[in-house]
Chains A and B, each alone.
Chain A
Amino acid sequence: MRYLPLTDAEREEMKQVIGIADVRDLFTCIPSGQCRPPLGKLPKALSEPELTAAFRAFGRRNSFSGYLSFLGAGAYAHFIPEVVSYLSAKGEFLTPYTPYQPEVSQGSLQAIFEYQTLMTMLTGLDVANASLYDGATAAAEAVLLATRRSGRRRVLLAGSLHPEYAAVIRTYVQNLPIELVTVAVDEASGRVDAADLGAKLDDATAAVLFQSPNFLGVVEDGPALAAAAHERKAFAVQVVAEAMSLAFLAAPGDAGVDMAVGEAQSFGLTLGFGGPYLGFMAVREEFMRQLPGRLVGQTRDLDGKRGYVLTLSTREQHIKREKATSNICSNEAWCALRAGMYLAVMGRTGLTRAARACHLNAAYFARAATGTKRIRVVYERNFFNEVLVAVKKGSASELAAALRKKGILAGVPLAWFDAGQKDRLLIAFSEVHDRAAIDRLLAAIGV
């Protein structure tokens, strides 16, 4: 077998050194009646050409690739510069373990230190961790952090939070003394309902967690939400499911929030059918020692030379066990490394240009679709790259099905998440689209 380098002769030699006749003598500790199950349902071993053919066949059973896609809702198609794929594929980055021996891991450690810095710049906050599993678990970790830090038990979740994020938060806290309360969305603006927020915010509230741009595509009034939370000494947490928006919209930290968490898949990660992606968390300095996940810090070596290490590990499970505030061992290090590469090569010019193009494409669509026959643009302003439309006749799923026949995946029907939202379709744009693609969508809808 090509992955097993021992030869039979070597196996014999080694058995002699150990003093056994048969390698199975090393397994006598296993209850004998249970040894060596038949495993008949496993596949037959494949050679490399056979394996390649088998994966081509899986690929052929997928048929999404011919479509012009406007799917978003938490996973976004963006252009990825070739250098990102080239560099991140290097075995030096792909095949080490977590950098427990910093003297031979400075490449990974410095790259993550750079990634942490880039995320603080984009979020306008003081400290960013080395990654979390994805946007949804990052949101759940923010809920845990806010309750832990405040000693309060109530967390308000904006009704416009990504439904899968809300679901993961509910899963995480199901056995903990944390009360989740949903704040209504104002239908007219698509933003958090200020009156409902005011009514539900109280002195037991640990945090107000809102997404911006939210699940309806709308940019929230961050400063107002942060101020409302702070008035009750609750923390303001902004969820960002589309990290590209950070390069176009006011930074969460500048809006006054205490934490920004979310999904950075847009920074150089392929769609990958939903993973692996990149959860991020950035916070104000006062939360630093409560952060979940790994942290890379700068220090010096014995000669005084600059270097990097994993640090503040007294937060972590391998030191504190059941008292740990962080239970993240493997995180998404390689994804964070890739995001760092992506942001480095995109740079200030490339990233702001891509982010602006995402928005301008969405704005172009929204203007062209406003006041037309078949659909209504629900929120005509203050979105980033996603436009929510309401179908005037029939359902959004029917419209999506009709467009599919024209080779277009037009968006995500909200009825997938909430059966009451039958007429709503969420359409995502990015810099991979051009005017011709958007015109094709408009023509297919028949506006």
Chain B
Amino acid sequence: MNTLPKLIFELSREGKIGVGLNEADVPDEPAVDPALRRRDIPDFPQVSEVEVVRHYMALAKLNYSVDAGFYPLGSCTMKYNPKINEKFAAAEELQAHPYAPHDLVQGNLEIMARLEEWLMELTGLAGFTLAPAAGAHGEFTAMLMVRKHLQEKGDPRKVVLIPDSAHGTNPASAHFAGYDVKEIASSAQGTIGLAELRPHLTPDVAALMMTNPNTLGIFESDIMAVADALHANGSLLYMDGANLNALLGAVRPGDLGVDVMHINLHKTFATPHGGGGPGSGPVGVAERLLPYLPVPRVRRRGEGFDVVYDDPRSIGRVKNFYGQFLVIVRALAYLMALGRENVGRVAEDAVLNANYLRKRLEGLLDLPYQGPSLHEVVFSDSGLPVKTLDIAKRLLDYGIHPFTIYFPLIVHGAMMIEPTESESKETLDEFIAVMETVLREAREDPELLRQAPTRTPVRRLDETLAARKPVLRWRKGESL
């Protein structure tokens, strides 16, 4: 019987101490009125150091991770996170206070300036901000810039067009920036061309938010004509760079007419996802949007670097301090390790791996959109005796993390598979063999899949119960 670890609160015993910390050596004379102070923190844990270590070691064993194995989560780019980068991110000599005088933190400012410059070179864009904390935050920042630019030109406009294959963050980001969202239907090929765009391209369109390659893993081949049409209409082209991994060294969004894009350092640039962040979502812009970049901005000045805090045309500040600096450190280290020699190889291997999987799986699964795949491929559960969810859960029993499921929404029972360049051919072959087994099981004993997983620390969890009667914290005496 594998029981889950107790909660830290259930391990707590009165009088236990986990840390050796001196009492202050100044007089014990508080200068705060007693009414403003707290007497106690009821039920706060009291656990010894060794028990804390064992508690978290037990929790660690319950997690799957990229370090443990294949993690083909589509659109998430779960590539290997180089270990040396963790050492840099933890280095004492980079842990400056954000308000340390600039002349004492020239190394840190240089790290930021260099990453900005190299992202400009990689994307063909005129400037970058590293401030946004994650992808959705970058999208929001970008849409604020779009709006400010159009506002200065006299009219912020009302509508942002978003393909039906887009991530949910796109419409949400446009909405928080003050726009109405109009969804446009993808073509039968799953793409957005002039035919799809034209009927919606009214004078109140501020921008199109296009993911490229899109969430089907297909390159939007009409992007240059789409950009021209938008520009002729006084509208802007936003590119969601979540899938930039496929394009590294192959093509630069700025050369295709993209006005603004966000990228994810925690996807394309190999920084660890941390179980859901911290991420970092830099935004790059074409020349005409440069004035609106958020503050602060790092700037080269002579041999050194300084920081611009104020700019009346900027959209303002989107985050405190400078952004996710230690994520930026890891991304820069990754790019320096790759170098110009290998950047293109990343995209080539990622695309090669995805196409190899596609070729080997397309006889077994329905492929609703048949256009050429770049970094990922999306199958459907059409014609299968079980649902996508059941296949995903059965993969867990074989020790493999499933692909992204039920996204994009335009594919029935979507299985979105992104292997990344980090996987060896042996790993892909093993995955294919497991898929063959699972699909055979689906035909012979579908109930087996519907009951899966059975080899994981817990079985399927009751999500309806969790949402209907939310228990979001432990309370004394209420343990399940």
Which of A17, A126, A274, A312 gathers most chain B CB within 10 Å?
Answer: A274
Q: Which of A58, A172, A306, A354 has the most CB of B within 10 A?
A: A58
**Given known A-B contacts A61-B107, A299-B466, A273 and B96 have beta carbons under 8 A apart:** yes
Q: Are B401 and A101 in contact (CB under 8 A)?
A: yes
B352 touches A26 (CB 8 A): yes
| Max count, chain B CB within 10 A of own CB: residue among A93, A131, A248, A359 | A93
How far apart sit A184 and B329, CA to CA, in the bound complex (Å)? 40
Taking the complex as formed, is A324 at the interface, i.e. its CB lies under 8 A from any CB of chain B? yes
Q: Assess the B458–A348 pair: CB atoms within 8 A.
A: no
Interface string of B319-349 (1 = CB under 8 A from A): 1111111110100010111111111111011
Chain B residues near A270 (CB, 8 Å)?
Answer: 90, 95, 326
Indicate whether A108 sits within 8 Å of B80 (C-beta atoms), given known contacts A357-B24, A366-B31.
Answer: no
Residues of A within 8 A of B22 (CB): 357
* A405 interfacial contact with B, CB 8 Å: no
Interface-central residue, A48, A61, A435, by most chain B CB under 10 Å: A61
Contact A26 B351 (CB under 8 A): yes
A368-400 vs B, CB cutoff 8 Å, 1 = contact: the mask equals 000000000000111110000000000000000
Q: Which residues on A sit within 8 Å (CB–CB) of B46?
A: 347-349
Q: A346-B18, A361-B24, A382-B32 are in contact. Are A331 and B171 (CB under 8 A)?
A: no
Chain A residues, CB < 8 A from B356 = 14, 17-18
A174-B144 contact in complex given A45-B340, A98-B275, A312-B467, C-beta closer than 8 Å: yes
Number of interface residues of B (CB under 8 A): 207
Is the Cβ of B251 less than 8 Å from the Cβ of A30? yes
Partner of B352, one of A6, A61, A98: A6
- Interface membership of B443, Cβ < 8 A: no
Smallest Cβ-Cβ distance to B455: which chain A residue: A103
- State the CA gap A5–B172 with chains docked (Å): 38
In the complex, what distance in Å separates the CA atom of A141 from the CA atom of B9? 30
B320 CB → nearest A CB, Å:
4
Cβ distance B223 to chain A, nearest Cβ, rounded Å: 8
Which B430-478 residues have a C-beta within 8 angstroms of A?
451, 453, 456-463, 465-467, 470-474
Q: How far, in whole Å, are A69 and B101 apart by their CA atoms in the complex?
A: 11
Given A103-B453, A111-B59, A327-B136, CB of A296 within 8 Å of CB of B472:
yes
A48 closest partner in B (C-beta) = B84
B196 within 8 A of A: no
Q: Is A299's CB under 8 angstroms from B44's CB? A: no
| Segment 41-73 of A: residues with Cβ below 8 Å from B | 41-46, 48, 51-52, 54-55, 57-65, 67, 69, 71, 73
What are 28 A-B contacts with C-beta separation under 8 Å? Answer: A3-B421, A3-B422, A6-B352, A6-B421, A26-B351, A39-B340, A48-B337, A58-B111, A62-B104, A64-B101, A71-B99, A83-B18, A94-B81, A96-B273, A97-B78, A105-B62, A131-B277, A174-B144, A249-B32, A263-B320, A273-B94, A273-B97, A299-B463, A307-B461, A319-B168, A331-B276, A333-B274, A333-B275
Kindly identify, within residues 357 to 405 of chain B, every residue whose CB is under 8 Å from any CB belonging to chain A.
359-360, 371-372, 374, 392-393, 396, 401-402, 404
A216 within 8 A of B: no
Least Cβ–Cβ distance between A111 and chain B, in angstroms: 6
The interface size of chain A toward B, counting residues with CB under 8 Å, comes to 206
**Given the contacts A116-B472, A131-B277, A300-B465, A39 and B122 also touching, CB distance less than 8 Å:** yes
Q: Which of B33-41, B197-205, B283-291 contacts A (4 or more CB under 8 A)?
A: B33-41
CB-nearest residue of chain A relative to B148?
A174
Take A95-B81, A133-B137 as given contacts and tell me if A164 and B317 are in contact as well, using a CB distance cutoff of 8 Å.
yes
Q: Which of A11, A308, A347 has the most CB of B within 10 A?
A: A347
